[in-house]
Copies of this chain bind each other. A is one copy, B any other.
């Protein structure tokens, strides 16, 4: 490996380190309450250093979200490539959400928050484009599976994009909502089981007969 590649790699590592620190702090405190200083401390760096890798707080937060989105898109695409039925794939999508939620519940929450209002405005075109790309990828994979199901005469004949939207947003909605109930009522974590039930209902709703 040349010296340039090593440097590049180190730089990438450092970026990941910072993003991981940011993940922890943003998860605990939320965007407003989190401070750059805190993230720097978590990353065991000085505040100034963060600015060598990210233009500012906003960009750091967005980068984190994109990282998550990328991961989600990857996992979903893996499912599409598998040699299983469309129905089974829909179930696996559900598992992907569950896995991510179990790995770090805040990851998903963060992501879904990115995808609406407040955050989307004031985003640089570059980042907006990245989000679109990965989002389209993840969503496109879902659309493909739906299409597959429709073509095989298994799913109802609605517009596949709409069905994928419903699938995605129901899963996302369940995560947000059930997780918030958990926080609000300090109850047990029902996200997983609720997601599974949601899957069953929606799958049944999707099927032709």
Residues of A within 8 A of B (CB): 27, 29-33, 106, 109, 112-113, 115-122, 128, 131-132, 135, 156, 158, 162-163, 165-166, 168-174, 176-181, 183-185, 190, 193-194, 197-198, 200-206
Cβ of A205: which chain B residues have Cβ within 8 Å of it?
200-206
Min distance, Cβ A15 to any Cβ of chain B, angstroms: 20
Give the copy number. Answer: 4
Interface on chain A toward B: helix, strand, loop, or mixed SS?
helix
Min distance, Cβ A169 to any Cβ of chain B, angstroms: 4
Q: Can you sample 22 A-B contacts with CB below 8 Å? A: A30-B119, A31-B32, A31-B118, A109-B116, A109-B117, A112-B176, A113-B116, A115-B176, A121-B183, A132-B185, A135-B184, A162-B197, A165-B174, A166-B174, A169-B173, A169-B174, A169-B198, A170-B173, A170-B202, A173-B173, A202-B202, A204-B205
